[in-house]
Chains A and B, each alone.
Chain A
């Protein structure tokens, strides 16, 4: 389920903000106008009262009538004996209280709040009053006016947000469209130019993933191509060997041809086994449930398995192991690793050679080393021997050409490292370091 759109979220979260802003602005301008009008009208009231006093007459109040309408004030004049001399005519017909405090006072008359200014003049009391309501009305009108531009502006802001969000997200749309057009073969990076800062990390990570995928696919394709190519050689041999069986003229040559054919079939089967092992051990995370394994035991088993082959070649394999040598990993893969190392040593040394296999703890690692007294590998070739099918045929007895590639893949899968060096025996030394774990309880 997708989250609400950015547009909707922006608009929804801006709406309360907008309302709050309206409220604050309205209140502030109302208060401000109200206090301003207090000052102004108070001044007016006072001026009016003073001018009435100075005129000394009971005359209509000054100012133009339309002003009066808005001004909406009441004038009351009392004589010294308390009789009302004058009461101005107003639309409210309000009556000011009959008792007055000199100066400004807030009074309530007929349920209405008034602002009244009273002054003494020659025994008379002059009172000028105005309902508060007038002032409040003016302030409210002013507040409302101040809100108008904001109210008009609100839809404009909403539209602008709508457009801006769309505009900012256009690169995302563009990338989406670009990715939609692609098939599984197109794994080149999507363009990173002109991306908003917020989107860039996502696109960069996507490109990183694409690059990793591209490499993995390329490796896979190269592997399949290599494998198919390398299968030609054993199959070519099989075809020739079968041809020899067919053209054999006597039992002896037929027997010899059949033996060769059998050896050819064994070789093809071995190559396919090795290919499968390699395909299974291509670098990928080791399953989390990898068991703790005693590498010494695995190496011992592998040495025992390889002994007949060694004896057939007149070679000797020595084995030494010192605990602790527990590693975490895939038992079958590690077994195949040791086997391939010994097999490699046997194949690349002349018959009657000596091979030493050792397992020992080395700091935080377990070291498995295979030494031989063969010709070794020149330094400049040491990196390349891990390539698939490298040197398939070098030396006396060709293997599948995958042995060291398998070894390397298994080592990488177990977070280990592998080194080729000069052996004290005179030939090649292959040392594999795997992370050591606490000893297995079994």
Chain B
């Protein structure tokens, strides 16, 4: 999952970035609205964490321009402004959720998962696909009831693929979800993670279309077991 963090305070930005990286998110952190605009224009994000009190242009203004160009990326406002009119204004400007500083990292994580779930058109918090059960909140994966240990990056690849079964993701798209800017990408990293996942979850759990990318086959019996 690739997340754009728009936060002007160095310490908060640093802490959020560190925490979300630990959770396997790819984080791009910008400190003002102009840089955020550039990032949104050049990269596809799964979620935007938006501070309102930014130097120069305001966060709400950024949000409005995003929505005006029909950018539907989920936006979670994270701000020190706690007045009701600020919250109402933020949500009405197109935000999907609103979190007031100071906040807890766990709550931020839960709200992010909820937004990602909803943007994928899902209601249930736990994915279950062909005997593999994935809990994004606890980051626990089981296969036929047995616990499977995944590295954060393996988990991120799996989550991306399971979110939309049948949809093919290219290597570049997967890399996008794994690495933020400035993080070095090993040339065959995605192949390594796919290999690891196949070993742990069964070889045909993830399939590839040669030259296009990887996908998790749609399961006809999904929902019944």
Contacts and interface: CB of A to CB of B under 8 A. Distances in A.
B43 interface: no
Contacts of B16: 240
B128 interface: no
Which has the most chain B C-beta neighbours within 10 Å: A240, A391, A394?
A240
Contacts of B106: 243
B51 to A, nearest CB: 9
Contact of A243 (B9, B14, B105): B105
Contacts of B11: 234, 237, 240-241, 260, 263-264, 267
Interface residues of A, number: 28
B15 interface: yes
A240 B9 contact: no
A232 B9 contact: no
A204 B14 CA distance: 56
Nearest to A246: B105
Contact of A240 (B8, B15, B81): B15
A233 B101 contact: yes
Interface in B1-25: 8-12, 14-16, 18-19, 22
Interface string A226-244: 0001101111111111011
B104 interface: yes
A263 B11 CA distance: 9
Nearest to B14: A260
Contacts of B8: 392-393, 398
Contacts of B130: none
B111 interface: no
A397 interface: yes
A115 B103 CA distance: 120
A19 to B, nearest CB: 74
Interface of A: 229-230, 232-241, 243-244, 247, 253, 256-257, 260, 263-264, 267, 391-394, 397-398
Given A236-B9, A236-B80, A393-B8, 12 more contacts: A229-B80, A233-B101, A235-B101, A236-B12, A237-B11, A243-B15, A247-B105, A256-B18, A260-B11, A260-B14, A267-B11, A398-B8
